[in-house]
């Protein structure tokens, strides 16, 4: 959690950590200016109509339902959303998409997406091809080399069918979806890697800056 907080603070944001036993989604969206969704365990696949794969590892009890309600409330309130790792997955499920339940057994020629926790959290794992013309491409323009960026990777699931209206903006060499965004005026972006782990060196600072700027213009 420390890296999420640092990444937000270093770009001028004031993070408010939510307690899903205490903070009702409808109340949260009236007193915050943006929603950052963080990493964690697997989303219950019954929520998108599938039986659990043998590798399924549930999140904290109640977290799926809480975050799904929060995402729906945030969309309704037109809050800027930045979703990271599990955050991207739960956002996709909340808005009608599905997930690949286990990349290594379900994707042919899968890259190494599950860096062990013994490695530094900013260890580069694979590249991501960024879609031309996307918001992600515009934000990362100065940092990219030939439409690609190098990312870390600590996930065994990924987006399968994107939620309606969302566009795929980043893919790994094995085809795994690594980024998506919702076109339109409200900042809504999701990435499968962990940009927050790079707050010291700034590789993904433009993403946090854009999110915080969007939240600032939303705040009254």
Contact 43, 64 (CB under 8 A): yes
Closest approach, Cβ 151 to Mn ion, in A, equals 7
d(Cα 38, Cα 16) in Å, to the nearest integer?
13
Find the catalytic residue in 85, 113, 149, 155: 85
Of 83, 2, 74, 67, the closest CA to residue 31 belongs to 74
Closest approach, Cβ 90 to Mn ion, in A, equals 17
Closest approach, Cβ 176 to Mn ion, in A, equals 6
Q: Which is nearer to Mn ion, 155 or 182 (CB)?
A: 155
194 noted as active-site residue: yes
Q: Which is nearer to Mn ion, 124 or 186 (CB)?
A: 124
Binding site for Mn ion (CB under 5 A): 113, 153
Contact 160, 179 (CB under 8 A): no
Find the catalytic residue in 127, 178, 181, 196: 196
Q: Which is nearer to Mn ion, 71 or 176 (CB)?
A: 176
Find the catalytic residue in 67, 127, 194, 203: 194
For residue 121, list its beta bridge partners: none
85 noted as active-site residue: yes
Closest approach, Cβ 73 to Mn ion, in A, equals 29
Just list the catalytic residues.
85, 194, 196
């Amino acid at each position: 959690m420390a890296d999420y907080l640092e990444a937000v603070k270093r770009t001028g944001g004031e993070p408010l950590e939510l307690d899903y036993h205490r903070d009702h989604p409808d109340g949260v969206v009236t007193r915050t200016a943006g929603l950052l969704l963080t990493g964690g365990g697997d989303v219950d696949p019954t929520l998108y109509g599938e039986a659990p794969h043998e590798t399924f590892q549930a999140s904290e009890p109640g977290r799926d339902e809480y975050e799904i309600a929060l995402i729906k409330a945030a969309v309704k309130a037109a809050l800027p959303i930045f979703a990271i790792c599990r955050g991207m997955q739960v956002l996709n499920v909340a808005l009608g998409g599905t997930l690949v339940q286990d990349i290594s057994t379900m994707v042919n020629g899968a890259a190494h997406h599950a860096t062990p926790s013994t490695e530094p959290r900013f260890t580069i794992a694979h590249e991501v091809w960024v879609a031309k013309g996307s918001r992600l491409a515009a934000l990362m323009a100065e940092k990219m080399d030939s439409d690609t960026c190098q990312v870390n990777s600590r996930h065994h699931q990924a987006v399968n069918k994107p939620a309606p209206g969302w566009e795929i903006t980043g893919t790994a060499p094995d085809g795994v979806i690594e980024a998506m965004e919702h076109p339109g005026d409200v900042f809504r972006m999701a990435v499968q890697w962990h940009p927050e782990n790079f707050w010291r060196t700034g590789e993904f600072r433009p993403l946090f800056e854009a999110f915080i700027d969007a939240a600032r213009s939303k705040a009254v």
